[in-house]
Structure 1
Amino acid sequence: MLLSVLLAGGGGILGLELIEILVALVGMLVVLVVGRIVLKIAWRLVTIAVVVVGALLLISQFVPL
């Protein structure tokens, strides 16, 4: 009953068409998926950098330059 009142006249929920809501949700999904991939790559790069800098620090302690 309430849903039919909200959707009556093509006004949609809060004046938005359902297709607009769907497009917005799909857009949010794309942003989240891309963000997840970027963060995964960033974590790997940071981990590699920490290992490399740590190894260089250890090497510099034992090998005089």
Structure 2
Amino acid sequence: MLAAALAAMGLGSPLGNLLVAIVALLVIVLVGRFLLSVAWKLLLVAGIVVAALYVLSVLGLS
């Protein structure tokens, strides 16, 4: 059933397969870009927290 629907839309052809692959890569890149954006912010906050704790431990306030 699904194969027949895909064939009717032309997705069984080489160009159709290429379109599906490009769309899949686009989705992967967009999701990866979002996750890297979040990860960058988390690493920045973690670096600031660790630096503050290091300074406090060097000064003997911890």
Offset at 1:58?
Answer: 0.9
Matched, 1:49 2:25: no
Q: Which amino acid aligns with 1:42?
A: A
Pick from 45, 60, 63 the counterpart of residue 60 of structure 2. Answer: 63
Offset at 1:61?
Answer: 1.9
After the TM superposition, which residues 28-43 of structure 1 pair with which residues of structure 2 at under 5 Å, given as runs? 28-43=25-40
Match of 1:8 in 2: none
Larger Rg: 1
Count of residue correspondences: 50
Offset at 1:64?
Answer: 4.6
TM-score normalised by the chain length of structure 2? 0.69
Structure 1 unmatched runs, 5+: 1-15
> Which portions of structure 1, spanning 4 or more consecutive aligned residues, are displaced by more than 4 angstroms?
none
TM-score normalised by the chain length of structure 1? 0.67
Query: What SS does the corresponding residue of 2:51 show, helix, strand or coil?
Result: helix
Alignment RMSD: 1.5
Identity of aligned residues (%): 40
